[in-house]
Structure 1
Amino acid sequence: MKAVLEVNNLKKELGSFSLEQLTFSLKEGCITGFIGVNGSGKTTTIKTILGLYPKDDGSIKFFGKEIEKNEYEIKNRIGVVLDEGYFYEEMTLKEMKSIIAPAYTNWDESVFLNYINRFNLKLDQKIATLSKGMRMKFAITLALSHHADLLIMDEPTSGLDPLIRNELMEILLDFMEEEGKSVFFSTHITSDLEKVADMLILIDNGEIVFNESKDELLERHALIKGDNSLINEHSTKLFLRLRQTPFGFQGITNKVDQVCEQMKDIIIERPTIEDVMLAYVKEG
């Protein structure tokens, strides 16, 4: 499976925060969820790989080519949706489109109008009057109207109601139906990725913690529940994260077989992405 993005030893300092020798890749044909708590480095990483922040060191390749030497070609193959949304507030949607469309050699007006109608957007409406959900729909419309091969989205569902978030997930699945398409989707709302993600990358404090198949990741972890009497100095070491209440304990483990051998009368459940993420995130 080809890599659509390869990041090697990427370094970026931004105030007191830094990305330290970040290395990861994205597989073609996959929706890759880029997860982490707020402030973990997701937005800094995305803005650096897109060239919005200059990198301090390392290499970035899209479709096997270095972005510095092939910026125009690469950006024609990428659709970008950022949380902020870089729009001129006093312009109408039509005026904003007229500025953005000429930047892409493959701009397809029929695709643009199809999404405008699908999202019930009005071309004569001013950007300033759009709700957060409508802004995000317009940003996605622009990102998908030039037949991009890779869609990069930074926190696209943040602050949106569940109905709109679900609609956006359906859009991603529709986009992926065409062969060779890929999505890189950063979010701290991991429930959005439960149904759509193929791969998961966790970043914490500017460092990559894991990069693997969602199904394999969830398969090798388990959420364990049981009586507090089962918790002792030895059994505690079997858990990545453990929480106790007066009613019992629950914990995340990647040592499922050992837990089953050593602890009886327990409940074993499949964890959520959030369960696993929080098990690996350093507190404080």
Structure 2
Amino acid sequence: MMADKWGILYVVATPIGNLGDLSPRAQETLQEVELIAAEDTRHSGGLLRHFGITTAMVSLHEYNERQQAELLIGRCQEGLSVALISDAGTPLISDPGYRVVRQARQAGIAVVSVPGPCALVAALSVAGLPSDRFVFEGFLPAKSQARQTRLEQLVDETRTLIFYEAPRRLPQTLQAMVETFGPDREAVVARELTKRHETVRGGSLSTLLTWAKQAPESGRGELVLLLHGAEKKQDAPRQEALKVLLPLVTALPLKQAVALATKITGFKKNRLYQLALELRAPQED
């Protein structure tokens, strides 16, 4: 069968809690495809029944993804369309599906996104932390030493850090973060998002640690933990250049000051000239 007659692989986002978040387009897609690959067919069965969707399902989880990828790609090559869903949220985001999508694209099968809920995006949108730059770290290692090692690698990360975590491990994770990032680093815990008992709590790591130890564990699945990025460190070469330039631009003509600073520091002349202009500007106002 020619590629233009192959089926389509749809990557469909499903609710992270509130069933009302399943979009009309997602409902239509799940109704019209010939097969749905679900992380847990029993869990997704409840969602499909709620919307009266009777499409056949097969399981696709971390333990069978390699084998199921061949099956699903074969179905698409037979002309059938397949929808890929996870237990909650957008597939592939800390969920199975990467191998299927990658192999489908390599085979020339059309892969179409049906976007919708995603816990990390939902949490970031209400956390009040910088959102122009962020990095998603997924789940930290469960073992304490490996978790500590990974956190230490992120100490100087200036972007907002986003993690998924199991509620029962929250106190241990916050304790490790206090030890690594310090007690005053700002953080936010978002759990039960879109559900009746949704909680978005912010504060210092030490404050959140105290709260997590006192508050009873609530919710299933996972929560989202967001951490303010590190403060940007001063550019050491820039500081050195400024230290040399400052007395020179005060006492000498600009070009002469830059030429002398270039010999002293070994820095590029153009860069030093720009710095000299910044230093000279306030004096000329």
Same-fold call, TM cutoff 0.5: no
Bigger strand share: 1
Q: What TM-score comes out, normalization by structure 1 length?
A: 0.28
Q: TM-score, normalised by structure 2?
A: 0.28
The structure, 1 or 2, with the larger RCO (C-alpha pairs under 8 Å, 6+ apart) is 1
When Rg is computed on C-alpha atoms for both structures, the one with the higher figure is 2
Question: In proportion to residue count, which structure has more helix?
Answer: 2
